[in-house]
Amino acid sequence: MRAKHAARPHRARRTSDRTTALSITNPATGAVVLRIAADGPREVAARYATARAAQPRWAATPLRRRLATIAKFRELVVARTETLAHTLTQEVGKPIRQSRNELKGLLARLDFFLDASTRALREEKVFADAAQKLDERITHEPLGVIANISAWNYPYFVGSNVFVPALVAGNAVLYKPSEFATLTGRHIADLMHAAGVPEDVFVPVLGGGATGAALLRQPVDGVFFTGSYATGAKIAASAGKRMIKVQLELGGKDPVYVCDDVDVAATAAAVADGAFYNTGQSCCSVERIYVHEAIYTPFVDAFVAEVERYRIGDPTDEATYIGAITRRPQLDVLRRQVQDARRKGARVALGGSPIKRKGNWFAPTVLTDVDHSMLVMREESFGPIIGIQAVADDAAAIDLMNDTEYGLTAGVYTHDAARARRVLAHVNAGSVYWNCCDRVSPRLPWSGVKHSGMGLTLSTMGIQTFTRPKAWHLKT
């Protein structure tokens, strides 16, 4: 296996400090798919030097030519969708239909970047005065060489949010996919290079946390991270003194509030999908549900009936909706949250434990009669478990929605537009949803408050974020 890996140029060098092995395991079966050597400090430093040398030439390449490589990348993704989807399913345990959906969603993001980048990056004339003979302008300069340290749960989404606009804006990118999505990271790099992005401009760096830490020791001009709050805090501390741009897209404990005027069955189905899609392993999965007490019991019944219908099992099966848990240690987090909730008086309406089969599996779990003393309502679960709590009114719902260290997304379901706006105006989150949830749009900024992160991706602001503004004061 190692020999197969060594045939590729960006992984070919063998050095004494390249000792860490990276095992790629299928989480649905526990089988080892591939073992490769992780990039050690020496490889990382060499890749940095290569990218630093190449970046000015890339920045000088006309924008339309940089965009043409992204258009070509899109074509290659379309042509290879089935292979890419199967690799993703194999290494993260995502149901195959959801892997295809992610690739379809990637195309929509690429379309947005292809459409919006020229406008976002153009030189702006902000003031001109003939009497003063003064002209003021803003240009958007690339940051230089950036590090993109990424997560595994939606590797195409969270990766492309960063590396596509970063490349388009003229940066070189050192891209470290998650060690749990290494094969997908390799596919992305291969397609980028085949599309015409030079190998020294989009540079994959493969490995786990130690490789990420080695990457951070390079004098990069920006760090764009997607992952957990725990790692994000370390990254912020390590980059803090260097005065470089740091963006952190972190976890969430995203609430939904269901008002008393909804269609109960339809809302239960929509919110259950928001909680359990991607086996609950989405940063914007619904993680807490508050239901107006007037409809609490029928809502719980409809919700449980919906989740009972989900097909669990082999992620390569077209009918599967609940797949494997990608990271094995997460099973302990889920088990601990259920035990804690039970001990404090919650009722397990469905599931409640790991499923005994090869690989990493946890039964879709619905906990009712929960409250905020319980870990399941406070800590990110990142798996197929959810707590449902009754609330007396909108004010109580708002208080509970804001009672969190996180602030990524929040949603409300009601027929009443004014009521929705009133609730959402008081919720402290980067994205708010009315009658929808677990949703990302490339046209809107994606950001979090508090422990959900800082900075933003997507929207035209998420293109400009990969540049620094240069202010031009021009007197004739």
Q: What is the nearest approach in angstroms of ligand NAD to the Cβ of residue 281?
A: 8
Does 147 interact with ligand NAD (rule: CB under 6 A)?
Answer: no
Phi/psi at 302 (5° precision):
-65, -35
Options 91, 249, 287, 379, the catalytic residue: 249
Across-strand partners of 64?
Answer: none
CA 271 to CA 286: how far, in whole Å?
7
* Alpha-helix runs per DSSP H in 169-252: 182-194, 209-216, 229-240
Q: What is the nearest approach in angstroms of ligand NAD to the Cβ of residue 233?
A: 10
The answer to whether residue 82 is catalytic is: no
Across-strand partners of 461?
Answer: none
* Alpha-helix runs per DSSP H in 323-472: 330-343, 394-402, 417-425, 461-464
Q: What is the nearest approach in angstroms of ligand NAD to the Cβ of residue 176?
A: 5
**Residue reference for tokens 């952190």:** 248
Does 151 interact with ligand NAD (rule: CB under 6 A)?
Answer: yes
CA 447 to CA 436: how far, in whole Å?
18
Number of residues that bind ligand NAD (CB under 6 A): 31
Does 459 interact with ligand NAD (rule: CB under 6 A)?
Answer: no
Q: What is the nearest approach in angstroms of ligand NAD to the Cβ of residue 247?
A: 10
Does 25 interact with ligand NAD (rule: CB under 6 A)?
Answer: no
Number of other CB atoms surrounding residue 316 within 10 Å: 15
Out of 231, 278, 360, 409, name the contact with ligand NAD by CB under 6 A.
231
Does 278 interact with ligand NAD (rule: CB under 6 A)?
Answer: no
Out of 81, 101, 139, 228, name the contact with ligand NAD by CB under 6 A.
228
Nearer to ligand NAD, 57 or 242 (CB): 242
In sign, the C-alpha dihedral spanning 16, 17, 20, 24 is: negative
Out of 40, 155, 212, 455, name the contact with ligand NAD by CB under 6 A.
212
Stretch touching ligand NAD by CB under 6 A, among 23-31, 124-132, 173-181, 394-402? 173-181
**Using CB under 6 A, which residues numbered 174 to 193 contact ligand NAD?**
176, 178-179
Out of 192, 216, 367, 456, name the contact with ligand NAD by CB under 6 A.
216
Across-strand partners of 315?
Answer: none
The answer to whether residue 283 is catalytic is: yes
CA 126 to CA 103: how far, in whole Å?
39
**Residue reference for tokens 């004098």:** 219
Out of 249, 254, 287, 369, name the contact with ligand NAD by CB under 6 A.
249
Check residue 171 and give left, alpha or beta (phi > 0: left; psi -120 to 50: alpha): beta
Q: What is the nearest approach in angstroms of ligand NAD to the Cβ of residue 458?
A: 10
Is the CB of residue 433 less than 8 Å from the CB of residue 439?
A: yes
Does 158 interact with ligand NAD (rule: CB under 6 A)?
Answer: yes
- Cα–Cα–Cα angle for 214, 217, 222, rounded to 5 degrees: 110
Give the count of alpha carbons within 13 A of 71, CB side only: 9
**Using CB under 6 A, which residues numbered 429 to 448 contact ligand NAD?**
448
Select the residue whose beta carbon is closest to ligand NAD and give its number: 212
Nearer to ligand NAD, 413 or 446 (CB): 446
Does 404 interact with ligand NAD (rule: CB under 6 A)?
Answer: no
**Residue reference for tokens 């928001």:** 274
CA 161 to CA 170: how far, in whole Å?
15
Out of 41, 105, 196, 208, name the contact with ligand NAD by CB under 6 A.
208
The burial of 423, by beta-carbon neighbours within 10 Å (0-12 exposed, 13-18 middle, 19 or more buried), is given as buried
Out of 106, 116, 272, 283, name the contact with ligand NAD by CB under 6 A.
283
Does 375 interact with ligand NAD (rule: CB under 6 A)?
Answer: no
Does 274 interact with ligand NAD (rule: CB under 6 A)?
Answer: no
Number of other CB atoms surrounding residue 263 within 10 Å: 12
Give the count of alpha carbons within 13 A of 447, CB side only: 16
Stretch touching ligand NAD by CB under 6 A, among 243-251, 268-276, 303-311, 364-372? 243-251
Q: What is the nearest approach in angstroms of ligand NAD to the Cβ of residue 70?
A: 21
Is the CB of residue 24 less than 8 Å from the CB of residue 89?
A: no
Does 36 interact with ligand NAD (rule: CB under 6 A)?
Answer: no
CA 15 to CA 138: how far, in whole Å?
46
Q: How many residues does the chain have?
A: 476
Does 374 interact with ligand NAD (rule: CB under 6 A)?
Answer: no
Out of 227, 315, 384, 387, name the contact with ligand NAD by CB under 6 A.
227
- SS3 state of residue 6: helix
Options 43, 91, 259, 283, the catalytic residue: 283
CA 203 to CA 174: how far, in whole Å?
5
Stretch touching ligand NAD by CB under 6 A, among 73-81, 108-116, 124-132, 248-256? 248-256
Does 251 interact with ligand NAD (rule: CB under 6 A)?
Answer: yes
Q: What is the nearest approach in angstroms of ligand NAD to the Cβ of residue 17?
A: 17
Is the CB of residue 121 less than 8 Å from the CB of residue 463?
A: yes
- Enzyme catalytic residues: 249, 283
Q: Please report, as ranges, the residues that interact with ligand NAD according to CB under 6 A.
A: 149-154, 158, 176, 178-179, 208-209, 212-213, 216, 226-228, 231, 234-235, 249-252, 283, 380, 382, 408, 448, 453
